[in-house]
Amino acid sequence: MSEILLQIDGKEVKATQGMTVLEAAQGAGISIPTLCHHEKLEPFGACRICIVEVESRGWTKLVVSCVYPAEEKLIVRTRSEKVDRIRKTILELLLAHAPDSQVLQDLAHVYGADKNRFEKEASFCIHCGLCVRYCAEVKKKNAVGFVDRGIRKEISFIPEIASKECNDCKECFPLCPTSYLQAAFVLTEALAFSSPSE
């Protein structure tokens, strides 16, 4: 793989062809916030919090850094007025789902996001998909999946699979940025099956 040179926040950064901007930044110790990214999973590009400003051939645009490829001579700004404003709004929308999430609160503090800006949503899942994708891609079990679409989209455990696989695993639990996943599991367990210790 050939080496490329780009500039991130004024710093010359080496990366290899095929890397994303997020990976190039992380490799250089530059932090970009993420909510749906996980190094073991395929990029998903859902939460948009990793948005950055890039400049190439005289054009400036906003891109999602966890899916955007690092290019030779690309100029990347991980913080700018526009980037920070968008991250603030994204956080405010997500906080309407999960105002008590520590991960969201920490980011809200950095970007000055107001957790009361938008009306509260009924579900505290932020649809990052970490649980669903981890179970499918890493564990290859598909014990949890998305149901419905659009605003009705929710994650749901599949009781037939979850009853066999989840009690000895639960590796997805710490990945959830809110506590929705644990709550959904407890509910599924109570309604559809009980753990062997009960």
| Sequence-separated (6 or more) residues with CB below 8 Å from residue 110 | 33
**Closest distance between ligand FES and the C-beta of residue 141, in Å?**
23
Q: Taking Cα atoms as reference points, which of 192, 132, 198, 137 lies closest to residue 160? A: 192
Q: Which CA distances in Å does 67 have to 21, 35, 49, 118, 194?
A: 8, 13, 12, 28, 40
**Closest distance between ligand SF4 and the C-beta of residue 45, in Å?**
14
48 scored as a contact of ligand FES (CB under 6 A): yes
Q: Which is nearer to ligand SF4, 163 or 188 (CB)?
A: 188
Single-letter residue type at 55:
E
Q: Taking Cα atoms as reference points, which of 120, 114, 118, 119 lies closest to residue 98? A: 120
Binding region for ligand FES (CB under 6 A) out of 46-54, 108-116, 117-125, 182-190: 46-54
State CA 129 to chain mean position distance. Answer: 7
176 scored as a contact of ligand FES (CB under 6 A): no
175 scored as a contact of ligand SF4 (CB under 6 A): yes
Among ligand FES, ligand SF4, none, the one that 45 touches (CB under a kind-dependent 5 to 8 A) is ligand FES
Q: Which CA distances in Å does 11 have to 31, 70, 124, 150?
A: 13, 14, 38, 40
Site string for ligand SF4, 93-132 (x = CB under 6 A): --------------------------------xxxxxxx-
Among ligand SF4, ligand FES, none, the one that 50 touches (CB under a kind-dependent 5 to 8 A) is ligand FES
Dihedral (Cα; 79, 80, 81, 82), 10-degree rounding: -90
Size of the site for ligand FES (CB under 6 A): 12
**Closest distance between ligand SF4 and the C-beta of residue 41, in Å?**
11
Site string for ligand FES, 60-99 (x = CB under 6 A): ----x-x---------------------------------
Q: How many whole angstroms separate alpha carbon 42 and alpha carbon 22?
A: 13
Q: Which is nearer to ligand FES, 64 or 181 (CB)?
A: 64
Name the token pair of 137. 């891609």
